[in-house]
Amino acid sequence: MPVQCSSCSEKRAVLKRPKTGHSLCKECFFWTFEEEIHQTIVSAKLFKPGESVGIAASGGKDSTVLAHVMKVLNERYNYGLELMLLSVDEGITGYRDDSLETVKRNQQQYELPLKIVSYEELYGWTMDAIVKQVGLKNNCTFCGVFRRQALDRGAIMLKVGKICTGHNADDVAETVLMNVLRGDIARLRRCTAISTDSENEGVVPRCKPLKYAYEKEIVLYAYFKKLDYFSTECIYSPNAYRGYARTYLKDLESVRPSSIMDVIHSGENLSVREGVKMPVQGTCSRCGYISSQKLCKACVLLEGLNRGLPKLGIGKHHRFHDKILSQQPLTEEEERKLKAVDF
């Protein structure tokens, strides 16, 4: 017997929501999905009327759905937001160039302005060139650190007051588990926040409107709406350790679908003992970007690349910061340790 939609009881259900177990028809699903994101935005007071907001768009499912839903909700509830698409071109041949084509099509479909910032223009290095120097290990460190800053710089160029990213519930839960496995209490505390602090000057606050949306539902939404998105894994990311957290989370989900929300809830309610040392936010003395050290990670990584010592920014090498700042050369012994491993 076909299952009827549990909301309107008229049409046939097309899916069973993993989050609640409800069976819904297409229209009810669209409505619920959008409405939940609206509730997330309203209850967390993510946006102010008249604000201009940059949507971090990679062309993948999450950011495509985000762009679509933001546009729909902006019109439906008169947020009064000025939406823009913001993309980062990491310079990965065969991956990013194709996905950027998708973003460009999205720009036409949603009629939103688009800005693309590239690693090459910002840092003088493409990911292809970086991987050539550092190999396939740790290359994601470069990409991740650079993208974070590239998004900020792009946002400043676009003069937007906020960036929203397509992080979904699965991503947040995965990050909570990752930080538990790494014992990183400082990040564990920060990673469930829906929005970053907006106190810092020079840093554009970022928020995650899809924080409570399941990856599965995002995929289904994109599928039923026939959204145009790009689905290929990055060619440079085997990403070993995160893979463990990911597998575990997916297994958890298959045992009890609500556990993704449970993990996020745990992360949000973890109270940290007083007196636990937390990093203090300062600014990078070279580029002025936020940093807990003298130099921000991006500057150290870049210095390493330019000096031909890619391992300079991998792991903790705070003791070299003074030398980098004063443009001193490193000793031979130090250089030997930081050179790329020959294969």
User: Can you give the binding site for another protein, defined by CB under 8 A?
Assistant: 6, 19-22, 176-177, 180-183, 185, 188, 244, 248, 251-252, 254-256, 258-259, 261-263, 265-274, 276
Q: How many Å apart are CA 174 and CA 318, to the nearest integer? A: 28
- Closer to another protein by CB, 129 or 252: give it: 252
Edge-first strand order for the sheet with 162-164 is 114-118, 82-89, 52-56, 162-164, 206-207
Compute the CA torsion angle 52, 87, 101, 233 (nearest 10 deg). -130
Binding-site residue set: 56-58, 62, 88, 166, 171
| Parallel, antiparallel or unpaired: strands 282-283 and 290-291 | antiparallel
CB closer to another protein, 4 vs 133:
4
Q: How far is the CB of 28 from another protein (least distance, A)?
A: 13
| CB distance 88 to 118 below 8 Å | yes
- Judged by beta carbon, residue 252 or residue 340, the one nearer another protein is 252
Of 31 and 74, nearer to another protein (C-beta) is 31
Nearest Cα neighbor of 151 from 139, 167, 174 is 167
Minimum CB–partner distance for residue 20 and another protein (Å): 5
- Shortest Å distance, C-beta 276 to another protein: 5
Name the binding residues for ATP: 56-58, 62, 88, 166, 171
Least CB distance to another protein at residue 42 (A): 15
Task: Decide: helix, strand or coil at residue 82.
Answer: strand
Cα separation, 293 vs 309, in Å, equals: 20
CB 130, min distance to another protein, A: 27
**Locus of tokens 């309610």:** 269
Residues contacting residue 150 through CB under 8 Å, at least 6 positions apart = 88, 117, 119, 122
- Indicate the residue among 11 and 265 with the shorter CB distance to another protein: 265
Could you tell me the CA-to-CA distances from 82 to 55, 273, 288, 295, 333 in Å, in that order? 10, 41, 28, 34, 54
User: Which is closer to another protein, CB of 22 or CB of 148?
Assistant: 22
Q: How far is the CB of 280 from another protein (least distance, A)?
A: 17
